[in-house]
Amino acid sequence: MNKTAKIVAVILAIAVMLSVLGCTKPAETAAPSTGTEAAPAPAAKPATVEQMNFATSTPGGANYSIGGGLSAILNDNIPGYNFTVESTGGAVENMRLINAGEAQLCTGSSDVLYAAVNGIAPFDKDGKLNVQSIGVIYDTPFQIATMKNSGIKTVADLEGKKLAVGLAGSHVNTKAKLVCDTFGFVDGKNITWAYLDSKEGCQGLIDGTVDAVCVGVAIPAANLTELALSHDITLISFSEEEVKKLTENVDFFTPSVVPAGTYNGVDEDIQTFSYGTEIGVSPDLPEELVYQICKVLFQDEIARTSEVHKVFKNFDTKMLTRTGATLHPGAVKFYKELGIL
């Protein structure tokens, strides 16, 4: 290549480079800050949600189901709180959980609440517990079932027999003990207690490991209904004098009847007693929160509450003023507005 050609080639190369550089958009330079721009928005903080533990019973029990259903209603209507059902050993344990601050709501029978706040058995070693209530939500008849061929027809016939008395600390267990105390039965002497829940007790009847089982759930009790479909059962009917003795000597017991036909093959009315089941609460809960709990469950969403469990079939708001403890101020405020207090 001669000298002239080389010069032309260099000029062409330079031209191509300039062309490429001319097509490239220069980077934009940020405008100088004026100091008036808004600062970036801080990341949103998660809303604070306070945990509300609702202590109930063993899974499968009526109160566990009720606690779950009521918790769902409250979660849908009261923001800022997370209501969660908790399975427990029953009413006695629930009182201790409330007192210790490990639960904020619970289920429990009136006599257990009464015993808790007064520091009497089974709380005589605990002292008086710090528990209040929003009142009775349903009544439960006490039932003692046995096989029809057991020969057990009356309360007196339980002497020398093995009786499933519920799990230790359950409301059924406390009632069974009261019945035994009232009629002179002493575990290990003239009767034997088996600490079994109603499902285990019914299986015990089938297996022959127990002679009778105490049941404390709303009628018809699912375990007894199932048992009566495959076996001939009977329920012990208390005499009029026995019912009177129980209801006069034990606070919060009232005469009750399990109607004929409630269970397959049980064709006569069964005389017994019933007791109220309440919602216990921590006295530390704010008045406004408990007011809202009562208002949601027993006014705004009462139709939904009535569908939570069959025990609410005969629910009457007048029941709410009954309690073995004292009503929480938030409940008192709402019940006065409702006109039942």
In terms of domains, do 95 and 191 share one? no
Q: Is the per-residue pLDDT at 6 higher than 70?
A: no
Q: Specify the pLDDT at position 42.
A: 47
In terms of domains, do 261 and 163 share one? yes
Q: Specify the pLDDT at position 192.
A: 98
**Mean pLDDT over each residue of the chain, to the nearest integer:** 88
Q: Is the per-residue pLDDT at 15 higher than 80?
A: no
In terms of domains, do 331 and 255 share one? no
Please give the torsion angle defined by the CA atoms of residues 135, 108, 246 and 208, in that order, rounded to the nearest 10 degrees. 150
In terms of domains, do 298 and 264 share one? no
| pLDDT per residue as tens digits for the range 158-206 | 999 999 999 887 889 989 999 999 999 999 999 999 999 999 999 999 9
Burial (Cβ within 10 Å: 0-12, 13-18, ≥19) of residue 144? buried
Q: Is the per-residue pLDDT at 318 higher than 60?
A: yes
Does residue 35 form part of some domain?
A: no
Does residue 216 form part of some domain?
A: yes
Q: Is the per-residue pLDDT at 213 higher than 70?
A: yes
In terms of domains, do 285 and 322 share one? yes
Hunting for tokens 């349903």 — which residue is that? Answer: 138
Q: Specify the pLDDT at position 87.
A: 95
Q: Specify the pLDDT at position 219.
A: 85
Question: 103 near 97, Cβ under 8 Å?
Answer: yes
What average pLDDT does this structure show over 297-305?
97
Does residue 40 form part of some domain?
A: no
**Count of domains for the chain:** 2
Dihedral sign, Cα of residue 300, residue 69, residue 339, residue 134:
negative
- The answer for 184, left when phi > 0, alpha when psi is -120 to 50, beta otherwise, is left
Q: For residue 207, what are the domain limits? A: 141-275
In terms of domains, do 190 and 309 share one? no
> By percentage, how much of the chain surpasses pLDDT 70?
86
Q: Is the per-residue pLDDT at 20 higher than 90?
A: no
In terms of domains, do 267 and 291 share one? no
Q: Is the per-residue pLDDT at 223 higher than 50?
A: yes
In terms of domains, do 251 and 304 share one? no
Q: Is the per-residue pLDDT at 286 higher than 60?
A: yes
In terms of domains, do 106 and 213 share one? no
Q: Which two tokens stand for residue 69?
A: 């259903």
Helix (H) or strand (E) holding 151: none
Q: Is the per-residue pLDDT at 33 higher than 70?
A: no
pLDDT band at 59 (very low <50, low <70, confident <90, very high): confident
Q: Specify the pLDDT at position 77.
A: 98
Does residue 32 form part of some domain?
A: no
Does residue 187 form part of some domain?
A: yes
Does residue 106 form part of some domain?
A: yes
**Cβ neighbours of residue 38 under 8 Å, at least 6 residues apart?**
none
In terms of domains, do 236 and 310 share one? no
In terms of domains, do 89 and 116 share one? yes
Does residue 300 form part of some domain?
A: yes
The CATH code of the domain that includes 122 is 3.40.190.10
Does residue 33 form part of some domain?
A: no
In terms of domains, do 147 and 271 share one? yes
Of 231, 260, 275, which residue constitutes the final position of a domain?
275
Of 275, 297, 314, which residue constitutes the final position of a domain?
275
pLDDT-wise least confident of 20-29, 148-157, 214-223, 313-322: 20-29
Of 260, 275, 290, which residue constitutes the final position of a domain?
275
Residues in the chain: 341
Q: Specify the pLDDT at position 168.
A: 87
Q: Which of 60, 7, 77 is nearest to 202 (CA)?
A: 60
